[in-house]
Structure 1
């Protein structure tokens, strides 16, 4: 009798593991172009970023942080140079944040540091800092030249 119960348990476990391995989750988020991004779902929107006469289009992720940023649009801000690879702006009040630790930063990434610092990166590098991903510039060619070496005024608008 014990052998029959053992065989039944093994068969059930085998069937469960086989089904679990073969069944995918169709509801998983699928990143758009930037392989290390996580979003609430795979929908995105576009934003226009103007720096002087240069205009860039950004793909924005569908998350609460991005929604809070988009609620402020149109937005013209003076971003401060930092580290020769990023521009940042301190918002006077916090936005929702859901930071992920470290990884690869790519030129054109738009992120939130902490819960109130908007960061636009113009060089790629690895980091151990945590950021909430907001979106990315679709074609960052020309971004470093447009941003220049010092502080710069950027205008963010819905596209």
Structure 2
């Protein structure tokens, strides 16, 4: 990340992308949830309206990635991919894992150099998130999935 972009973010002159937020968190050796935390969390946090959770990623075909709730080192996301949408992520920290449950359509996964795998509605998968990985919707309708991310701190990849 450039110094110029960081200065623009600090001055409120630019909006960070999900990739930028992840880079900043990694630079501080903290999770995305810790970076976005504003106050101490109570014993139970309820996201009363998931649609009001911030969309930290927006796809070019109408998809969104919303961070619903989280507590270090765990995050819960709701993802929707429009037809042709793709979300590629760099490798997370060592031993990071993502667990997904497809709730609509089908999601094509590619992790590292491995062959792609299609996960359909009602199916779930575990992803080694310490390798580059991609979620893609190759279908004609929307694909949706719930994603839990476990990213231990203090173990940069």
TM above 0.5, yes or no, is: no
Taking structure 2 as the reference length, the TM-score comes to 0.28
What is the TM-score with the length of structure 1 in the denominator? Answer: 0.28
Larger Rg: 1
